Structure 1
Amino acid sequence: MPNSFSQLRSWFKTPEPPETKALVLHNQHMYAATGLAVNLSLGLTHVQQLADSRLQEYLGKGSFQMPDPQLYDDGSPLFVALSHWGLSPSEYLTLMIALAPALQPNFYDLLIQKHLSKAGEFPEFGGVKNANTRTTLPTGDTVLFLLNGTDLTGRLTTWQQILSHDSRLIKQQIILLEDPKDGEPATSGRITVSKEYVEMFLLGREWQPRFSSEFPAQPITTLLDWDNLIVSKNNLQELRIIQDWLDHEQTIKTDPALSRMIKPGYRALFYGPPGTGKTLTAALVGKRHKRPVYRVDLSQMVSKYIGETSKIASNLFDIAENRNWILFFDEADSLFGKRTSVTSSNDRYANQDVSYLLQRVEDYNGLIILASNYKHNIDNAFMRRFQSVIHFSMPDAQERLTLWQQTKPEVVKIADDISFEELAQKFELSGASILNVMYISTIRGLADEQKITRAMLIDEIRKELAKENKTI
């Protein structure tokens, strides 16, 4: 038997997947023979064969024989992932052990009932009860037992190679092994497949985390293009460096000299007044490189409970790690600002949270963008860790003219008394303010069935300036 999935086509002997036949599991539950279900059904069969053989050996009813997994080369997400990862048979079986309850919730209960006619506990098998359905869920102990039985050497090898934090399945967060309660065995925690891969294998789509108090981030996108971004030439040059890093990051990471001396990832600071294009630029960088951009809501990340902020940050970074996400921290100075002097225990814990966040940002292996209105608000200890620091200034008159022209609507006419050149010269507005003036004026024009007039624009400009306590 080959020792990795790099030899899939010679190992898996079944030539073609069935077109109409369904595979019947031991409990007579049938899965439709689609591109997703066929190999998943075979995966359950492999775990069943493994468990049957191990339990027969344990109960003195036969000798143990490791199953010989065979999967269809059908291009399904499971097959493609296994081909890419190059897992060993034991790693593959561990993955399917963890995935089984997602496919068939009572899988392990039926399995145990099949071999143990009398009801009772079976601690050697491991497992914990699902709080909602009371069905059995596998633990690390379940993996150790099914793969090795009572063989101590084999159990230690599996623990080190598959269930340790350094193993690829766990390090890449393909599977998750929960931390046990204090005093309990290290492998007694529940073992699961990460939500990302459950959704990929079962539904054939990419998992998108939902915004919540535990994941305070949302994807940001834009329909605009780089031609719509009005910034200085110097800024465009600085932004090009970030894009070049995204194009060549893998090459840089493998450089013998740089890979040993630099931290992974790239960190950039965007600073400047509101509405000058910081968020749009982050979205455009992601769009250009086909990478999701997640804006982190720092107000949701900060918790009044001691240690909770670090826990939320840990969950966010653990999910984002190795997924090619761009993390965008807007109004970053609210949390990454200068640390307070310690006058109470609360100050000490607050500074610890900031220190933890700074460390996770520094260790992140992708692109992180922090946005702030003011550069001097960012902690000095962190400034030297930025590869790029880019100032987004208020647009000058020529840039404002371009912004006025770009926002000119087509659904309503513009009155002849409007001169965008005059507006650009006279009123110092940000790009966001110009867009809002034109947006509200368009609504008014449509509602009143009239053209957008100069007076209408001046009225909306007055309102925009009033937001900043300014007057015309």
Structure 2
Amino acid sequence: MVVIDKKINSLINLELIKYLENRVRARLLYELREEVVEVIEPEIEKDGTFLSDFIIRNKLSNYEVILLLLTLIPHLVPNFYTKIIEEYIPQGGEFPEFGGVKGKSYRGILPTVETALYILSGNYIVNRLLNRAYILYENRLIKNKIIVVEKVSEGEPLTSAKLILSEEYTHLFLTGEELKPQLSQDFPASLITTNLAWEDLVLQEKTLNDVKEIENWLAYKEILMNDWGMASKIKPGYRVLFCGLPGTGKTLTAGLLGKHTGKDVYRVDLSMVVSKYIGETEKNLSKLFDKSINKDWILFFDEADAIFGKRTGVRDAHDKYANQEVSYLLQRIEAHPGLIILASNFKNNIDTAFTRRFNNIIEFETPNYDERLLLWKNNLPKNVELEESITIEELAKKFNLTGANIVNVVQYACLKTIGSNENKILRQYILEGVKREYTKEGKTINIKL
């Protein structure tokens, strides 16, 4: 019997490990000694372990449970397979039917498709053919990239491909914590979060109503697609364009959508996506979409004009491949099952091929007087007063600022107040901050300090 460290009992249901061991032993007994041993499938209950909860929540079949355990066990017990095999083949030697490979540093057996086929089908060729198709193409763990089938060298059978449990799920099952992907060339996006609430977002009523439509889709998409049978009639996913000047709340809205629906929001770093080399942009995008396709994340493409911009007339090879990038993007965003948000300063900058496919286009307009008044009220500190010579009504009326501008002005004025040991925020500091914001945007304003 394989000995398993009791420390993992709080994370992994040991009965499941024992079940896999019994399945391996039963197959070896039948194939090598023609002894039939019945293996009873375990009753998987909610035991507080992430592995059991995952199996129950996703209603995994018995075969899917075996595949999951096959790929998880090398991370737990390095000699799991070799110890069992040595009991039945004590003389050692080659055992190609079982499959498996050695790693560069790992000295135990890493399972391959052949390993899974042997445990599920033995040497019975009809079952092997059926299960081969199931393992490689049909089961949900492979489709959803929870388990990855490694590419094989040219000329080698696909059954020699290594089965690898994805890093995210390995981390989840072994630590009980979700592994968040980090910004890298393989994942050109970073997680965005916010400490603000919906009450801090000041938008026009029409814009807020449009945003509520996105919330509805996130909340009820499963009912719409599955219970109402709309999966065959409408395309998966939801695509929306946020358009408006910088500072009008596009990024904050994306962050709040994620915060209040319990979904991670990843802002795509287009500088790491777009490449001057032919085919590299599509390759970088493919990595991003492949990683996120079944994660239920929100993808936020800020300043999307850089990659979703209008196609041009074909004058040279560069134009041809640039247009191919747009066509590739169209295919990927249409097939993506999650929420994709594109943000642009101007709607007309986005290629019409994309705009036709958006479920909604939401305008983020520059705040009017009432909205600016509310923004000043929300962002000025509650425990420090303004100098009597200035009011927020005056500020909201005189200066056509966005929410981001107002936050910057407040930050500047507060720091100046603290640094000067003042007990009130002076008019001078507020107006200096306003002038700085206008100057940054190349605007001129005559402000009397």
- TM-score w.r.t. the length of structure 1 is 0.87
Q: Does 1:108 align with 2:60?
A: no
Instruction: Tell me which residue corresponds to 1:87.
Output: 60
8 Å Cα contact 1:235-1:390 kept in structure 2 = yes
Per-residue deviation, residues 76-98 of structure 1 (Å, max 9, x unmatched): 22222222333333322121111
Instruction: Tell me which residue corresponds to 2:183.
Output: 211
C-alpha displacement of 1:316? 2.2
C-alpha displacement of 1:127? 1.8
C-alpha displacement of 1:218? 2.0
Instruction: Tell me which residue corresponds to 1:179.
Output: 151
SS at match of 1:267: strand
Instruction: Tell me which residue corresponds to 1:139.
Output: 112
Counterparts of 2:75 and 2:51 in 1: how far apart (Å)? 14
C-alpha displacement of 1:437? 0.9
Instruction: Tell me which residue corresponds to 2:243.
Output: 271
8 Å Cα contact 1:270-1:391 kept in structure 2 = yes
SS at match of 2:362: strand
Instruction: Tell me which residue corresponds to 1:155.
Output: 128
- Which residue type is aligned with residue 157 of structure 2? P
Instruction: Tell me which residue corresponds to 2:166.
Output: 194
8 Å Cα contact 1:165-1:171 kept in structure 2 = yes
Matches within 5 A, 1:457-468: 457-468=430-441
Q: Does 1:31 align with 2:6?
A: yes
SS at match of 1:356: helix
Counterparts of 2:30 and 2:346 in 1: how far apart (Å)? 68
- The runs of at least 4 consecutive aligned structure 1 residues that moved more than 6 Å come to none
C-alpha displacement of 1:64? 4.8
C-alpha displacement of 1:208? 1.8
Q: Aligned Cα RMSD in Å?
A: 2.4
**CA separation of 1:280 and 1:164: change in aligned 2, threshold 3 A:** same
* 292, 301, 306: which one aligns with 1:320: 292
Instruction: Tell me which residue corresponds to 1:292.
Output: 264
C-alpha displacement of 1:29? 4.5
Per-residue deviation, residues 104-135 of structure 1 (Å, max 9, x unmatched): 23433434444444565433222222223343
- Which residue type is aligned with residue 233 of structure 2? M
8 Å Cα contact 2:412-2:429 kept in structure 1 = no
* 395, 404, 411: which one aligns with 2:376: 404
Counterparts of 2:107 and 2:383 in 1: how far apart (Å)? 59
Q: Does 1:130 align with 2:103?
A: yes
Per-residue deviation, residues 10-29 of structure 1 (Å, max 9, x unmatched): xxxxxxxxxxxxxxx62x44
Instruction: Tell me which residue corresponds to 2:415.
Output: 443
Per-residue deviation, residues 149-193 of structure 1 (Å, max 9, x unmatched): 2111111121223x1333222223332222323322123221122
**CA separation of 1:280 and 1:191: change in aligned 2, threshold 3 A:** same
Of 115-124 and 316-325, the range deviating more from structure 2: 115-124
8 Å Cα contact 1:282-1:328 kept in structure 2 = yes
SS at match of 2:159: coil
Runs of 5+ consecutive residues of structure 2 not aligned to the other structure: none
Instruction: Tell me which residue corresponds to 1:4.
Output: none
- TM-score w.r.t. the length of structure 2 is 0.91
- Which residue type is aligned with residue 204 of structure 1? G
8 Å Cα contact 2:44-2:56 kept in structure 1 = no
Counterparts of 2:300 and 2:269 in 1: how far apart (Å)? 9
Of 285-294 and 343-352, the range deviating more from structure 2: 343-352
Counterparts of 2:102 and 2:8 in 1: how far apart (Å)? 30
* 326, 329, 339: which one aligns with 2:301: 329
SS at match of 2:341: strand
8 Å Cα contact 1:53-1:62 kept in structure 2 = no
Counterparts of 1:263 and 1:214 in 2: how far apart (Å)? 27
Counterparts of 1:222 and 1:172 in 2: how far apart (Å)? 29
Counterparts of 1:373 and 1:199 in 2: how far apart (Å)? 39
Per-residue deviation, residues 259-279 of structure 1 (Å, max 9, x unmatched): 333211211100011000001
